[in-house]
């Protein structure tokens, strides 16, 4: 069986079960077709200075090595330098252990170029081990905050080199591939989408007497939740009866804003971060997904909502237009609240025109573990065989 080592810049760990969970799902999808070993070096500031802990977990064809290291006692500037050196030292050391325990890999798969991809560069130069890079990061869009263009010269130079030397660049959308190639570094690319767990996200008819929008997000500046509240207020003032579930944040200012507008616990209901399976349950109990981001690549929640048969309202940013069209949703211009209100009104008025079982069936065929895992495996084989 083909063995692929994944070098990841983000991955769920003991302190954060959500950062990089989309990468974890990618790894699970590929493990249906190949032996996957994930190498994740993660900083744990609760560990004593100088302390290193390694956890190894195995399930089926997926093995994950998580290496945690603590914060030093040096001042901030020296600490940042120490942290980078420690990261690369531990990454190289753990890769050697993986080779000893799991065998030499056929290929390296980098998930998010910086900083994990620097080891892939080294391995390609020293032992001619090919590698591919998957990118999800919105930071390649100039309007993103932060963005790669705000980084220092050395960071940008190394990032470009990782992408340029890769055997293939695999952005999760065509738009991201075009953006990177046009604005950052010219590379050949082949889009492979994110995945949705169709065992959790699936169509289930909803018996409900109220139209329910759902908005799962961290509700930061990027997601523009303040304007979503303004749109809800305007739609409510038009006499529409509906509710919005906002899941994933304890933003006190946002909650107070909803209270001030007379929306809190009447139209808008806030829920804190919940388990992945609970998000799926909430989606199946909703009517439509509502996003209004200022910038995005392609949020996984869109794919998951479509797998549940939910039509989507979203701003037309990043690669979202590649998956949302008139058959499964409505796109509006970013920060255009009037368009958002009109889209919400249209969604409620014309909801019966959406073929929800068909939306779910098509999405599941495109974004399931088997589909995406198979795409990656086909790419791996061509690269290993030199095709």
Has residue 166 been placed in a domain? Answer: yes
Percent of the chain with pLDDT over 90: 88
Query: Quick check: 76 pLDDT over 80?
Result: no
SS3 (DSSP) at 163 = helix
Q: Are residues 45 and 11 in the same domain?
A: yes
Per DSSP, the three-state class of 134 is: strand
Q: What is the DSSP string of 64-77?
A: EEEEEE---SS-HH
Query: What is the per-residue pLDDT for 83?
Result: 85
The answer on 379 and 358 residing in a single domain is no
CATH number reported for the structural domain that contains residue 147 in this entry: 3.40.50.2000
Shared domain for 361 and 372, answered yes or no, is no
Residue 157 is assigned to a structural domain of this protein: yes
- Sheet hosting strand 288-290, strand order edge to edge: 268-271, 242-247, 211-216, 288-290, 312-315, 329-332
Residue 301 and residue 345 share a domain: yes
Indicate whether 177 and 252 sit together in one domain: no
What pLDDT, on a 0 to 100 scale, did the predictor assign at position 18? 84
Report pLDDT digits (tens) over 142-183.
999 889 999 999 999 999 999 999 999 999 999 999 999 999
From 209, 356, 201, select the one nearest 281 (Cα to Cα): 201
Number of domains within the chain = 2
* Residues 34, 168 within the same domain: yes
This prediction's pTM: 0.94
Q: Are residues 260 and 378 in the same domain?
A: no
Residue 13, domain member (yes or no): yes
Q: Is pLDDT of 260 > 90? A: yes
Which pLDDT score is estimated for 193? 96
Does some domain include residue 200? no
Q: Convert 57-95 to b/e letters by CB count within 10 Å (16 or more is b).
A: eeeebbbbbbbbbbbeeeeeeeeeebbeebbeebbeebb
- 168: domain range? 3-195+368-384
Q: What is the mean pLDDT of the chain?
A: 95
56 has which bridge partners?
65
End-to-end CA distance of the chain: 19
Q: What is the pLDDT of residues 283-324, one digit of tens each?
A: 999 999 999 999 999 999 999 999 999 999 999 999 999 999
> Which residues lie below 8 Å from residue 287, measured CB to CB, with a gap of 6+?
206, 208, 211, 212, 213, 310, 351
How much of the chain, in percent, has pLDDT values that exceed 70? Answer: 100
Tell me if 242 is assigned to some domain.
yes
Q: Look at residue 341 and tell me whether its pLDDT is greater than 90.
A: yes
- Shared domain for 99 and 29, answered yes or no, is yes
Residues linked to residue 57 through DSSP beta bridges, in sequence order? 64
Give burial (CB, 10 Å; 0-12/13-18/19+) of 384. Answer: middle
pLDDT tens-digit readout, 94-143? 999 999 999 999 999 999 999 999 999 999 999 999 999 999 999 999 99
Question: Would 238 be classed as within a structural domain?
Answer: yes
Same domain membership, residue 263 and residue 185: no
Q: Cα-Cα-Cα-Cα dihedral of 244, 352, 278, 58, to 10°?
A: -140
Residues 15 and 153 placed together within one structural domain of the fold: yes
Question: 229 and 188, same structural domain?
Answer: no
285 & 326 share domain: yes
pLDDT of the residue at 72: 75
Is 203 within a domain?
Answer: no
387 pLDDT more than 70: no
Quick one: average pLDDT of 225-243?
97
Residue 206 lies in a domain: no
**Tokens at residue 246, please?**
């906002």
């Amino acid at each position: 069986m083909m063995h692929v080592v994944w070098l990841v810049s983000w991955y769920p760990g003991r302190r954060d079960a959500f950062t990089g969970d989309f990468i974890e799902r990618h790894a699970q999808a590929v493990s249906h077709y190949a032996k996957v070993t994930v190498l994740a070096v993660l900083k744990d500031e609760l560990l004593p200075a100088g302390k290193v802990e390694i956890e190894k977990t195995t399930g089926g064809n997926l093995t994950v090595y998580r290496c945690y290291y603590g914060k030093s006692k040096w001042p901030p500037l020296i600490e940042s330098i120490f942290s980078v050196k420690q990261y690369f030292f531990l990454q190289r050391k753990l890769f050697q252990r993986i080779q000893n325990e799991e065998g030499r890999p056929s290929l390296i798969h980098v998930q998010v170029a910086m900083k994990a991809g620097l080891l892939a560069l080294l391995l390609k130069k020293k032992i001619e081990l090919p590698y591919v890079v998957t990118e999800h990061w919105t930071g390649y869009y100039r309007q993103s905050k932060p963005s790669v263009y705000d980084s220092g010269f050395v960071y940008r130079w190394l990032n470009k080199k990782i992408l340029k030397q890769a055997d293939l660049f695999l952005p999760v959308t065509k738009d991201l591939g075009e953006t990177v190639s046009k604005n950052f570094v010219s590379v050949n690319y082949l889009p492979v989408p994110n995945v949705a767990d169709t065992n959790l996200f699936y169509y289930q008819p909803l018996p409900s007497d109220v139209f329910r929008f759902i908005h799962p997000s961290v509700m930061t500046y990027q997601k523009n939740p303040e304007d979503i509240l303004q749109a809800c207020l305007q739609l409510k003032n038009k006499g529409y009866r509906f509710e919005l579930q906002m899941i994933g944040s304890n933003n006190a200012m946002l909650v107070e804003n909803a209270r001030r507008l007379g929306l809190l616990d009447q139209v808008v209901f806030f829920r804190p971060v919940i388990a992945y399976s609970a998000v799926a349950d909430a989606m199946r109990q909703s009517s439509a997904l509502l996003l209004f981001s200022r910038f995005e690549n392609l949020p996984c929640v869109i794919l998951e909502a479509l797998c549940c048969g939910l039509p989507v309202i979203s701003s037309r940013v990043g690669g979202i237009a590649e998956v949302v069209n008139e058959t499964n949703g409505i796109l509006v211009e970013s920060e255009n609240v009037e368009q958002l209100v009109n889209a919400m009104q249209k969604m409620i008025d014309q909801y019966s025109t959406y073929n929800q079982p068909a939306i779910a069936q098509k999405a599941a065929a495109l974004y399931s573990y088997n589909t995406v895992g198979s795409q990656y495996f086909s790419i791996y084989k061509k690269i290993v065989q030199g095709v």
